[in-house]
């Protein structure tokens, strides 16, 4: 019989009654039908399933959320909502259960939002997720207790064979103890060799070269060298040399280069940036030369450099950027302004991002007067290769403006590690023997936030090669140091201890303990300080 055919039953003396009317009457009597006038039954449904991501990549976990609503007219008791993973788009309690969460009692028309963290399977492919709420007593319809399905895709993982570990030697942190020595005077040149690779570097040699200009070539004069032992991955070694300044005044440039080792992944970074040293004539006192400006034929400001003290700073850490302004010609009362820039390429222009500026007033100066500018720069917060340089502002009457901007120095930001140090310090001398002594020292951090550490003071009657050659006489805690501006994070600490009871000259060095993941542990100690006790 067709489904839309209306059926009636006729009895003698009785009016015909439609089947629907009989059902309605039965429901009123029993109060047990969900749609009847007297019904008060709950009806739980699961709606609006969502996931925090539809594609599970590096992070396999995601959030599954759904809403349980009581669509009935009766009160629903507390129950459980279970999350399932299925191989098809139909979610049933027979699927693989992932998580479960309690759903509180729900009045008619009330709802409950639930969220749980779910792990995607390791196998690639498309998977289906949904949720089912457990039926409650008196529920009028349990066929709608499961939600629709939602897809989550696990992509194929491209497994590549890791490359063999390789070393990568870098020369960084070069510095000189005196940038303006007199001719023939002694000064110290320091440099650090660091293995930035993931493989051990064989023993090699670190050379020190001197050049007459900032362009280093293989023909530059080698003035010293040192043997460098094997270096494990991320290990470093600091070296220092006592050098003699040339006998003729002028500006000279020093750099350190390490010989490549077998298997090295990159050799272009085996030399430090050139470090300028201005040698003064000992017979001529350093003063402002009073030279008349009449007859001056030219005026030219040149930008030389730049140099950095660390070409591989931490993300958000700081490094020192230096440049030299050279005056050619004569001038009277001239202000030069040097601006430092960060560029996206190796060409420095005034349209690049300015990071700092410095200025200097010239009185009356003659040819080849040089001024050094040093600024602290905060490294970018993202890994990458960046270029830094400087430009000196053009002044009135300048004969050549094509040399007012420097070349670029490359800075590679590739890690997020702290770098703690102790700065130079001094103490009044002589001092009374046997008395308590209080020394002021400063702890620095040039990299990412450091963990707490300890500053220790070592003492010896002889000059120490290493802190372990002396005796620890004091220590003080150093809290976390966080770089927040364009300069190193620093903290002044006072160290107190009992001075030696025996008179004499004693040598001291202060060191801060290495912190977790520190990028360079060879610079954690201060220079030596000598104190005489009487």
Report pLDDT digits (tens) over 145-169: 999 998 888 877 655 555 678 888 8
- The first and second tokens of residue 520, run together, are 């360079």
Query: Which tens digits make up the pLDDT trace of 272-292?
Result: 877 888 888 775 444 333 333
Phi, psi for residue 46 in degrees, rounded to 5: -110, 125
DSSP label of 202: P
CA quadruple 123, 124, 126, 131: dihedral sign? positive
> Residue 62's pLDDT band (boundaries 50, 70, 90)?
confident
pTM for this model (two decimals): 0.47
Kindly state the percentage of the chain with pLDDT values over 70: 83
CA 332, CA 235: separation in Å to the nearest integer? 51
Confidence (pLDDT) at 352:
92
| Mean pLDDT, the chain, whole residue set | 81
Peptide bond into 134 cis (omega under 30): no
Statement: residue 41 has pLDDT above 80 = yes
Q: How confident is the model at residue 32 (pLDDT cuts 50, 70, 90)?
A: very low
Contact present, 44 and 36 (Cβ < 8 Å): no
Q: What is the pLDDT of residue 56?
A: 62
Q: Which of 501, 407, 402, 488 is nearest to 459 (CA)?
A: 501
The H-or-E segment that residue 19 falls in is helix 19-30
pLDDT at 476 over 60: yes
In the block, residue with structure tokens 């008791």: 77
Q: What is the DSSP string of 114-175?
A: EEEEEEPPSS-EEEEEEEEEPP-TT-S--TT-BPPPEEEEEPPP---PPPPP---EEEEEEE
pLDDT of residue 283: 59
State the pLDDT at residue 362.
Answer: 62
3-state secondary structure of 74: coil
Residue 446's SS3 state is coil
Of 221, 401, 214, residue with least CA distance to 324: 214
């Amino acid at each position: 019989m067709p489904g839309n055919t209306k059926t009636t039953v006729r009895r003698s003396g009785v009016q015909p009654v439609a089947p629907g009317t009989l059902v309605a009457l039965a429901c009123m009597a029993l109060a047990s039908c969900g749609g009847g006038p007297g019904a008060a039954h709950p009806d739980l449904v699961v709606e609006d399933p969502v996931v925090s991501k539809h594609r599970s990549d590096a992070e396999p976990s995601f959030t599954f959320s759904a809403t349980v609503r009581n669509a009935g007219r009766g009160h629903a008791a507390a129950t459980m909502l279970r999350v399932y993973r299925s191989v098809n788009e139909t979610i049933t309690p027979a699927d693989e259960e992932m998580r479960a969460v309690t759903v509180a009692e729900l009045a008619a028309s009330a709802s409950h939002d639930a969220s749980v963290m779910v792990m995607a399977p390791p196998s690639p492919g498309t998977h289906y997720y949904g949720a089912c709420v457990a039926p409650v007593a008196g529920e009028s319809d349990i066929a709608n207790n499961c939600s629709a399905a939602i897809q989550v895709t696990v992509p194929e993982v491209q497994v590549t064979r890791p490359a063999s570990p390789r070393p990568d030697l870098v020369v960084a942190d070069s510095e000189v103890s005196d940038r303006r020595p007199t001719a023939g005077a002694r000064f110290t040149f320091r440099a650090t060799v660091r293995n930035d690779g993931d493989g051990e570097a064989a023993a090699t040699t670190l050379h020190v070269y001197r050049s007459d200009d900032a362009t280093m070539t293989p023909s530059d004069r080698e003035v010293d060298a040192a043997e460098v032992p094997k270096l494990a991955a991320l290990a470093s070694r600091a070296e220092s040399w006592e050098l003699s300044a040339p006998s003729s005044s002028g500006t000279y440039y020093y750099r350190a280069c390490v010989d490549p080792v077998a298997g090295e992944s990159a050799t272009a970074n085996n030399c430090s940036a050139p470090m300028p040293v201005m040698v003064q004539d000992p017979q001529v006192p350093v003063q402002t030369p009073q030279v008349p400006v009449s007859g001056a034929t030219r005026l030219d400001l040149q930008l030389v450099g730049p140099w950095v003290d660390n070409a591989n700073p931490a993300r958000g850490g700081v490094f020192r950027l230096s440049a030299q302004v050279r005056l050619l010609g004569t001038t009277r009362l001239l202000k030069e302004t040097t601006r430092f820039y960060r560029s996206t390429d190796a060409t420095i222009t005034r349209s690049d991002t300015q990071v700092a500026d410095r200025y200097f007033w010239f009185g009356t100066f003659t040819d080849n007067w040089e001024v050094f500018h040093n600024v602290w720069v905060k490294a970018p917060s993202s890994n990458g290769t960046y270029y830094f340089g400087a430009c000196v502002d053009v002044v009135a009457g300048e004969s050549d403006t094509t040399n007012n901007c420097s070349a670029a120095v490359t800075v590679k930001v590739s890690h997020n590690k702290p770098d703690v140090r102790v700065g130079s310090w001094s103490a009044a001398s002589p001092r009374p023997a046997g008395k308590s002594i209080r020394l002021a020292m400063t702890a620095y951090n040039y990299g990412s936030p450091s963990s707490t550490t300890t500053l220790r003071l070592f003492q010896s009657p002889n000059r120490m090669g290493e802190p372990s050659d002396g005796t620890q006489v004091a220590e003080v805690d150093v809290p976390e140091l966080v770089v927040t501006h364009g300069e190193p994070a620093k903290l002044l600490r006072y160290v107190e201890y009992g001075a030696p009871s025996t008179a004499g000259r004693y040598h001291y060095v202060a060191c801060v303990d290495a912190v977790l993941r520190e990028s360079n542990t060879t610079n954690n100690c201060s220079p030596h300080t000598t104190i005489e006790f009487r």
